[in-house]
Homo-oligomer: A and B are copies of this chain.
Amino acid sequence: MKTIPGGVCAAKGFQAAGVRCGIRKNSTKEDLSLILSACEADAAAVYTTNLVKGAPLYVTKEHLKNGKARAVICNSGNANTCCGNGVAVAEEMCEAAARVCGIDPADVIVASTGVIGQPLDPTPIRAALPALYASLGADETASLNAAHGIMTTDTRVKSVAVEFSVGSRVCRIGGIAKGSGMIHPNMATMLVFLTTDCAIDAGLLEKALKTDVRNTFNMTSVDGDTSTNDMCCILANGLAGNEKITREGADFEAFMKALNTVTMHLCRCIAGDGEGATKLLECRVTGAATLEAARKIAKSVICSSLVKAAMFGADANWGRVMCAAGYAGVPAGLDKADVAFSSPAGTVLVCQNGFHHAFSEEEAKAILSEKEIDILLTLRDGAFSASAWGCDLTYDYVKINGDYRT
């Protein structure tokens, strides 16, 4: 397996584009993206568990009932959530996209992201669709344009692809993502669009996605707020020409591994580009009694405002890590736990067997001043481990969210 250019267009038969249609009044940023497959693709998706759901999610769920799709249309700048006629607007987006692409509206996945509660006017979207279709491309630039079109407060574009082998054939899987604030997925995720040319049974595709998301996007949190518009979907058009993967085994494992490489990359991008973030944090819990305990503790630590603020200040305040582990809601032998901080500058053990372990404050400061920090919590309860990803809490998070709408 190796990383390749092309992002969401890396897989054969996928094109993408992103343009500015003018949903945000005071912005020159792209705000409308399209992804199109040359032929019908098997499709699977997971969605937010928030009771308040964006209107596009209802429409997409309906369209994916048959497990097939050909295109994704997504706008940024307005979430099309809590605004009355949202479902009609989302359906209109699908119809308009289907018309320019010459496909069935029921084969279109629709998504929106941005402010909640303001009516979304479909006029600029409809008007921009011919130009969006005309600018479709199949290269890295096209993927980046589409990735730009779905960004809100993101500061960095998120696009990646890998190639892998199934039998004698080379397959590709790639994707784009947006996500910076309101990031705390629960059995779903932010907006992630994945494409592959691998031929794979629709049931296995769904299983692969659901299994993977549990260890990647669902273990990522920027601010503890589970969005109303989270969605992660994958299109598999089979154009790589491999013998279709129809059962679990080596080929399915290869697919899972490639999928995980792409999603893990996007997760780290999202966490590292969290609103206002200066640092990417990973909390790795090992030696837990159960997988659930490992996951809950890792996520509790990564979500702690106090841990996040300490990391911003490069302060080795490990008591906050223990505190967050202690309120994770799962049993754990924290009186026998170790805590260490690790980064490219080194590793420092700060707590051993639940108690203070003497360390050099200077060394700890150097380690915590790096851009990527691992918080290592070692339990002695069992053999399970899990990782969670997040970011530091900074002045800029407050600034960005103190007045987001204007």
Contacts and interface: CB of A to CB of B under 8 A. Distances in A.
Interface residues of A, number: 64
A305 B225 contact: yes
Nearest to A393: B398
Given A225-B323, A322-B117, A401 B305 contact: yes
Contacts of A5: none
A327 B403 contact: no
- Interface of chain A, helix or strand or loop or mixed? loop
Interface stretch (A78-86, A205-213, A236-244, A256-264): A78-86
Interface string A99-128: 000000000000000011111000000000
A119 B313 CA distance: 23
Given A83-B356, A395-B395, A405 B315 contact: yes
| Most B-side CB within 10 Å, residue of A84, A305, A354, A399 | A305
A228 interface: yes
A59 interface: no
A224 B225 contact: no
A355 to B, nearest CB: 5
B82 A355 contact: yes
A384 interface: no
B84 A317 contact: no
A325 B225 contact: no
A66 to B, nearest CB: 27
B351 A117 contact: yes
Contact of A116 (B81, B322, B394, B405): B322
Given A51-B332, A181-B306, A398-B395, A228 B323 contact: yes
A91 interface: no
Interface string A286-326: 00000000000000000111100110110101111011111
Interface in A359-406: 393-395, 397-406
Interface of A: 49-53, 79, 81-84, 115-119, 181-182, 184, 186, 223-228, 303-306, 309-310, 312-313, 315, 317-320, 322-327, 331-332, 334, 351, 354-356, 393-395, 397-406
Given A79-B319, A117-B356, A224-B224, 19 more contacts: A50-B323, A52-B325, A82-B355, A117-B322, A223-B305, A225-B306, A305-B401, A306-B401, A309-B397, A309-B401, A310-B403, A313-B401, A313-B404, A315-B402, A315-B404, A315-B405, A395-B398, A395-B399, A398-B398
20 contacts: A50-B323, A50-B327, A51-B325, A51-B326, A51-B334, A83-B356, A116-B319, A117-B319, A117-B351, A117-B355, A181-B306, A224-B303, A224-B304, A226-B326, A227-B323, A305-B305, A305-B397, A309-B397, A310-B402, A313-B404
